Amino acid sequence: MKLAGVASSLPGNRFRQNVLMEALGNIWAEQLSSPALFERIHSRTGVEYRHLALPLAEYENFKGWGQRNKAWLEVAQDLGERAIDAALARSGFARREMGALVVTSVTGIASPSLDAHLINRMSLPTDIKRTPMFGLGCVGGAVGLTRAADHVRAYPHQVAVLLAVEICSLTLQLGDLTTANLIATGLFADGAAAVVIAGAERGCDGPEIAASRSFFYPQTEDIMGWDISERGFQVLLSPRLPALIRERLARDVETFLSECGLCSKDISNWILHPGGPKVLDAIRDALQLSERDLAISWDCLRRFGNLSSASVLLVLEETMLKRSPTSGSYGLLIAMGPGFCAEMILIQW
């Protein structure tokens, strides 16, 4: 199984972090008990630029969650089509060769699901196998990649495509002044990424998916997720997350790698979800990584913010395009998300 192509797609509305902070500060001018705390939170996210689905003025026009969800479906289709076509172009495959489509998103919901809309919009094969996924959040890109790899393992003559698309800005809760929401408004952004995975019987270039492993942490549902109500999606984000990472991640990584006959010293490229400064710092401490090991993750956080499920795939794209790993070397892709859980994928270049 090979990663034949990876590509991202971002909305055209690109903003500096200070512009977004000022816009929100103006909206909340009469409500913030501590404007200094709000500004401090935004300035410490590690984000310099973010892409948003819509011009800033349009976000105040939404009257309810239904309108925001409708906008999510429209934007997600546009970004999704662009990401899939770009990944196919890099892989050398065509739309008609797609045997499976895995789609993950946690910022909107539809039935028929987003994948069905894309099949119609893009005239994809009518016998394509569909797997829509909701609720996985930041781990969704890694889990979706595993599911797509599972498909081509079972059908080695086929090509599968994973799409992760998140429109985080449409989950904005202007009535929520909790610390978790203040962090979210300074961290999350919009975008999509797609990966083409080719079965063993399809000749193509690209690194090989060597193995994958899932870790679920019981009784940690309150670490991360959404509180979903008639108001839409209200973020849940526990300050205990960095401690959980420091406590569990190193042991789980070594467990997985030992099953593959490897150890952490055998990994030359770390493809890590840029969840935020505290998450990246906790990963660095837990795995005893160098600044170079996390450089691409930090750079993606700085340039794009946190795109939830799509973020780790942007790190993968940047690694494949710019890092040029040595042939035969290993990379480890890691993302974590609601559950709480971690997904790891071993890649051989």
Which residues are part of the catalytic machinery? Answer: 138
In 203-339, beta strands by DSSP E: 208-216, 224-229, 232-237, 267-272, 330-337
Looking at the DSSP bridge assignments, the partners of residue 9 are: 192
d(CA 27, CA 242): 31
Is the CB of residue 10 less than 8 Å from the CB of residue 303? Answer: no
SS3 content of the chain, % helix, strand, coil (to 5): 45, 25, 30
Angle 330-334-338 from CA coordinates, rounded to 5°: 165
Tokens of 279: 């998450």
Q: Does residue 3 sit in helix, strand or coil?
A: strand
53: alpha, beta or left? (left if phi > 0; alpha if psi -120 to 50) = alpha
CA 32 to chain centre: 30
Residue type, 152: V
Is the CB of residue 68 less than 8 Å from the CB of residue 170? Answer: yes
Residue 273 per-residue DSSP state: -
15 φ/ψ angles, rounded to the nearest 5 degrees: -130, 145
Looking at the DSSP bridge assignments, the partners of residue 334 are: 272, 344
In whole angstroms, how far apart are CA 306 and each of 130, 240, 265, 280, 292?
26, 19, 28, 12, 20
In whole angstroms, how far apart are CA 135 and each of 104, 165, 224?
8, 13, 11
Q: Does residue 53 sit in helix, strand or coil?
A: coil
CA 132 to chain centre: 15
217 φ/ψ angles, rounded to the nearest 5 degrees: -105, 105
